Structure formats: C-alpha cells, structure tokens
C-alpha cells in the first residue's frame, strides 16, 4: 500500500513537472515570436525560475498524489465521475467555487507572505523574478509552494466537483499562472481594459504586483484587492516593450530598468 501511495506521489510530481515544462515552454516560445528580446539578459534568472519550479512540482505532486490514490482506492474526496450525479448547472458553478476559494486562500496567504520575516525567508524567491518570465509560474520557495500545494487537495474533500470540471480548474490554474508572469497580454485589450478586466486578473494586474510589491495580491479575481483597498489598478506593458524594441534596434543599448 505504501509503495502504491509513493508511486502515485511520484507520478503526480512527474505530471506537474512535465505540465509546467510544456506550458511554460510553449508560452516562452510564443514570447520569442511575439516580443523578440523581451527576456534578453534574463537567462540566469530563467534557469533559477526553472529550478525552483521543478522543486515546487514535487511539493505540489506529493499531496495531490496521495489524495489521487485515496480517491481511486478508498473512495476519498467528493470528486464524481457520473455527470448526472449533480444538475448540469452545477458544473460551471463548481469551477467558479473552486476558483473563488483558491483565490481567497491565495490572497490572504500572499499578504501574509509579504510580512517582512516571511518575505525574507520564503516569498523573496518569487520576487527575485524582476521582471518575471513565463518560467516563473511555479518559482516559489518550498514554504510558499506548500501553502499552494494543499489548496486543491483540501478542496476536493469539501466541494463536490466532476472530474472534468476539476480538469478545467487545473487548466485555468496552470495557464493563468504562466500567462500572468509572461510580460505581455494574451487577451484582447478590450477585455483587460474593459469591464471584465475590472474584476479578472490578467498579466497587467500581476505585473504591477511584481513592480510595486504591496498591492495587487489576488490570483484570479480583483474582488479581495478591491474590498481591502490593495488594488492599484493595472500596469501597461507598452513602455517595457518599447524599451525592448529600442535595445534591439541597431546601436541600441540593452536596458531593462524602469
Ligand atoms: Zn507572481
Ligand atoms: Zn508577492
């Protein structure tokens, strides 16, 4: 039994690690096509981001692997696979509940991580990415990775979710984690500048957190930031991109300081 649990934890670590490499790699590649030179001079930082992220994969993989084993073999969790077990409208609602719960947990633990002692010990690792890249998605100190790793494995015991809806939650989590650090927007300007962007977090919002620290702590939604007065609006990548273009021009000087 112990061997089976260990194997499940190992398999999940591999899945999380490979998923990270594929998704971050794909968006890093897209960045090279869309904004050539945006990550210029960040090679050492990106190597560091990848190392911390792969360590995080193990920390994420272990609780997820144990819970997955219990789900398959012991009937743990409230994950269901019979789609008629709950009304159909519950499918999107469950996704929203998971995102809202994760966002709430993230907002408050993230603010806690910004307390000076904890920041120095743990969260400084994530903020060493200046500016972050597509590889920074899971670049966390193990202490911080642990606070993130317990969320979904705990929620599956509390909130019923169809296995496919859980897949959607994990996909959103992975893609937003990468794109929010990527240094440019994949969404149309009308979306993140418009009414939807007033409540949803995309790269321009999280970039401002990496620039100014004491604001924009949220993960998916701006609700907690707005309620608690920590929302400082969204940044603008135009200046950074213009700087990259200038540096790439003949005779240009590489300069990535604001
Ligand atoms: Zn970040
Ligand atoms: Zn932070």
* Residue 205 vs residues 19, 76, 97, 130: alpha-carbon distances, Å: 24, 37, 22, 15
Nearest by Cα to 172 from 100, 73, 87, 237: 100
Taking 60 as the threshold, does the pLDDT of residue 202 lie above it?
A: yes
Angle, helix 43-74 to helix 142-149, in steps of 10 degrees:
40
Nearest ligand for residue 130 CA: 1
Structural domains counted in the chain: 1
Nearest ligand for residue 139 CA: 1
- Residue 18 placed within a domain: yes
CA–centroid distance, 139 to ligand 1, in Å, is 8
CA–centroid distance, 250 to ligand 1, in Å, is 33
CA–centroid distance, 217 to ligand 1, in Å, is 9
Q: How far apart are CA 174 and CA 219, in angstroms?
A: 12
CA–centroid distance, 210 to ligand 2, in Å, is 7
CA–centroid distance, 215 to ligand 2, in Å, is 8
CA–centroid distance, 125 to ligand 1, in Å, is 10
Taking 60 as the threshold, does the pLDDT of residue 258 lie above it?
A: no
Q: What is the mean pLDDT of the chain?
A: 94
CA–centroid distance, 132 to ligand 1, in Å, is 7
CA–centroid distance, 5 to ligand 2, in Å, is 33
- Residue 66 placed within a domain: yes
- Residue 68 placed within a domain: yes
- Residue 110 placed within a domain: yes
Over residues 144-168, the pLDDT tens digits come to 999 999 999 999 999 999 999 999 9
pLDDT of residue 252: 58
- Residue 74 placed within a domain: yes
135 touches 50 (CB < 8 A): yes
Identify the three-state secondary structure at position 250. coil
Question: pTM for the complete prediction?
Answer: 0.93
Give the burial class of 141: count Cβ atoms within 10 A of its Cβ; 0-12 exposed, 13-18 middle, 19 or more buried.
buried
CA–centroid distance, 162 to ligand 1, in Å, is 29
pLDDT of residue 236: 82
pLDDT of residue 243: 76
- Residue 258 placed within a domain: no
pLDDT band at 245 (very low <50, low <70, confident <90, very high): confident
CA–centroid distance, 123 to ligand 2, in Å, is 7
pLDDT of residue 232: 96
CA–centroid distance, 39 to ligand 1, in Å, is 16
Domain that holds residue 108: 1-248
**Could you tell me which residues come within 8 angstroms of residue 177 by beta carbon, excluding any fewer than 6 positions away?**
137, 138
Taking 80 as the threshold, does the pLDDT of residue 222 lie above it?
A: yes
Mean pLDDT, rounded, for 200-214: 95
- Residue 205 placed within a domain: yes
Q: What phi and psi, each to the nearest 5 degrees, are found at residue 128?
A: -70, -15
Taking 90 as the threshold, does the pLDDT of residue 250 lie above it?
A: no
- Residue 225 placed within a domain: yes
Mean pLDDT, rounded, for 232-237: 89
pLDDT of residue 25: 98
* Residue 204 vs residues 50, 89, 101, 137: alpha-carbon distances, Å: 22, 32, 22, 15
Taking 70 as the threshold, does the pLDDT of residue 110 lie above it?
A: yes
CA–centroid distance, 114 to ligand 2, in Å, is 6
């Amino acid at each position: 039994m112990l061997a089976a649990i260990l194997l499940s934890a190992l398999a999940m670590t591999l899945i999380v690690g490979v998923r990270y490499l594929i998704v971050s790699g794909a968006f890093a590649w897209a960045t090279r096509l869309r904004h050539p030179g945006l990550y210029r001079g960040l090679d050492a930082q990106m190597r560091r981001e990848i190392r911390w992220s792969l360590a995080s994969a193990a920390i994420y993989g272990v609780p997820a692997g144990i819970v997955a084993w219990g789900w398959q073999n012991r009937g743990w969790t409230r994950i269901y696979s019979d789609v008629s077990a709950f009304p159909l409208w519950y499918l999107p609602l469950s996704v929203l509940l998971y995102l809202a719960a994760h966002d709430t947990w993230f907002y408050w633990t993230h603010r806690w991580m910004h307390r000076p002692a904890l920041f120095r010990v743990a969260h400084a690792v994530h903020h060493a990415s200046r500016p972050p890249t597509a590889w920074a998605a899971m670049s966390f100190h193990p202490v911080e990775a642990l606070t993130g790793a317990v969320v979904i494995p705990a929620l599956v015991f509390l909130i019923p979710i169809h296995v496919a809806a859980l897949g959607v939650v994990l996909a959103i989590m992975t893609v937003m984690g990468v794109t929010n650090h990527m240094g440019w927007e994949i969404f149309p300007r009308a979306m993140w500048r418009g009414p939807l962007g007033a409540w949803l977090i995309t790269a321009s919002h999280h970039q401002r957190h990496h620039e100014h620290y004491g604001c924009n702590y949220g993960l998916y939604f701006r609700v907690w930031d707005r309620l608690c007065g920590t929302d400082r609006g969204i940044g603008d990548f135009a200046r950074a991109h213009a700087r990259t273009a200038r540096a790439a021009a003949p005779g240009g000087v590489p300069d990535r300081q604001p």
